[in-house]
Amino acid sequence: MSTSDGTGPVSPVPGDEQSRAHAKVRQQVAELVRTPREPALRRQVARSVRDRYHARTDRWVGTVAGHGTVETLVVEREIIVTRRTWEDEGARSYLEIRGLERVPLDAPGIDDRIVLLRARDDLSADELDDTVAELRLRGFAASQNQVLPCNPVIKNLGGPALAPPLAPFVPVPVEHAPQVAIVDTGITAQARHDGWLVDVPRHAHGKDPNVDPLDVEPRDGFLDLCAGHGTFVAGVVARVAPMATIRVYRALLGGGVGTEIDVATAIVQAVEDGADIVNLSLGSVTLYDQPSLAVEAALERIEEIEREQGREVLVVAAAGNGGDTRPMWPAAFRQVVSVAGLTADHHAAPWSSHGFWVDCSTVAEGICAPFVQGKESYEFTADPDDFPADSFALWSGTSFAAPQVAGKVAALMHEHGVGARRAYALLRATGTAVPDYGRALRILPGV
């Protein structure tokens, strides 16, 4: 039956519909386990990402093989160095000899900390990787401009499954509501009639548009890879924290990917706009398993803002769906709360990334939240769903564990009148320690 906080279904779910939903979630979980181990599937998705990102930006995404099962996506011909590296005469001369030149960087908040360089057309990603490796051997901070996806390369290809509706959303008006920022694919422009997410601001044009187009070039009338991801994540936050003010920032473009600079810039913008909590349901393994230079610069800027303004800001990130212990960034930053996934019966999910760097975990299989209107493509699933207006979906992955933690921290901020870091400490204290999965927390149920 419906629950008072809007988290339950409107009516008992018919047995056949419940069985279908359970089967679709099991399929999602099976794909989460399988995809990191299937090079052909990863190459297929990488090609889709490459084409869609190029259509949106005129830049190409390539792959660089690293160790482990998952390749790293990078923007071809681009590398990032720290300002200290660029200001060193020897490092700068080496970069120029290698055919790299500085290009303008429109990244407020971090453009005084990092430098973006672009190579000649005839330099391959592997050659750039050699340049980066040489700089690192000389003690300089450098990396290729890495892509941080909402994990389409290791997220289940089938996408979400159609779910029975939740009760209409009832907002909880409060004074000084906690503000949760979601850096993701954006928010759908589609108007809902059940109250869910209607108060989230939409900006289709201007300097910082945040509307998810759902079907990017080449337009085919179907939902794009990772379309609706940001809307779904926002819905998870709203389920857990109906009193929160939600703001969505679009840093992931065609194919559900964005560069580390795109993501870092959005993080800083969100905090400057007043965010108490920033949710990052995105991430990647990186070359050399080293942190993103751009996101590191953003976190340094956030620490400065906290000191200057006497604020507490909490950044929460999905741990990833790699099924191994390789660190996922930005989740693995010490300043970031990393959230791994649990099964619906609250056991450690074997498909979730995990390790010493994970702080907490919660259920990440069959999470229900508002979704977008549109039809899935046969390109990504053999059993496409057709989502109507005001639809809800079931989706699996650590992308949907992280916003539960972000939302619960916001709810505890309101309940106890404390800052975000203190609220997270209160939440973490309720969890049970699970090796490599941090503290297991009970927030939303799964399927």
In whole angstroms, give the CA distance from residue 222 to residue 214: 8
Instruction: Express each pLDDT in 85-141 by its tens digit.
Output: 999 999 999 999 999 999 999 999 999 999 999 998 777 777 888 899 999 999 999
- Write the CB contacts of 295 (distance below 8 Å, at least 6 apart in sequence): 148, 260, 263, 264, 267, 329, 330, 333
Query: Does 153 have pLDDT greater than 60?
Result: no
CATH number, domain containing residue 159 = 3.40.50.200
Lowest mean pLDDT among 58-62, 273-277, 290-294, 304-308: 58-62
Query: Does 242 have pLDDT greater than 50?
Result: yes
In whole angstroms, give the CA distance from residue 13 to residue 76: 48
Which pLDDT belongs to residue 123? Answer: 78
Phi then psi dihedrals of residue 346, to 5 deg: 75, 30
Query: Does 1 have pLDDT greater than 60?
Result: no
- Average pLDDT (382-387) is 87
CA 51 to chain centre: 20
Domain that holds residue 373: 1-447
> For residue 43, what are its two tokens?
């190459």
Query: Does 342 have pLDDT greater than 80?
Result: yes
Lowest mean pLDDT among 134-138, 220-224, 262-266, 433-437: 220-224
Strand partners of residue 9 = 166
Stated pTM of the model: 0.92
Please name the residue that has the structure tokens 């993501």. 263
HEC profile for 49-105? HHHHHHHHHCCCEEEECCCCCCCEEEEEEEEEEEHHHHHCHHHHHHHHHCCEEECCC
Which pLDDT belongs to residue 158? Answer: 66
Instruction: Express each pLDDT in 251-277 by its tens digit.
Output: 998 678 889 999 999 999 999 999 999
What percentage of the chain reaches a pLDDT higher than 70? Answer: 89
Q: Which residues of 84-123 are buried (b: 16+ CB within 10 A; e: fewer)?
A: ebbebeebbebbeebbbeeeebebebbbebbbbbbbeeeb
Asked if 48 contacts 245 with a C-beta cutoff of 8 angstroms, the reply is no
Domain count, the chain: 1
SS3 (DSSP) at 137: helix
| Predicted confidence band of residue 9 (pLDDT cuts 50, 70, 90) | very low
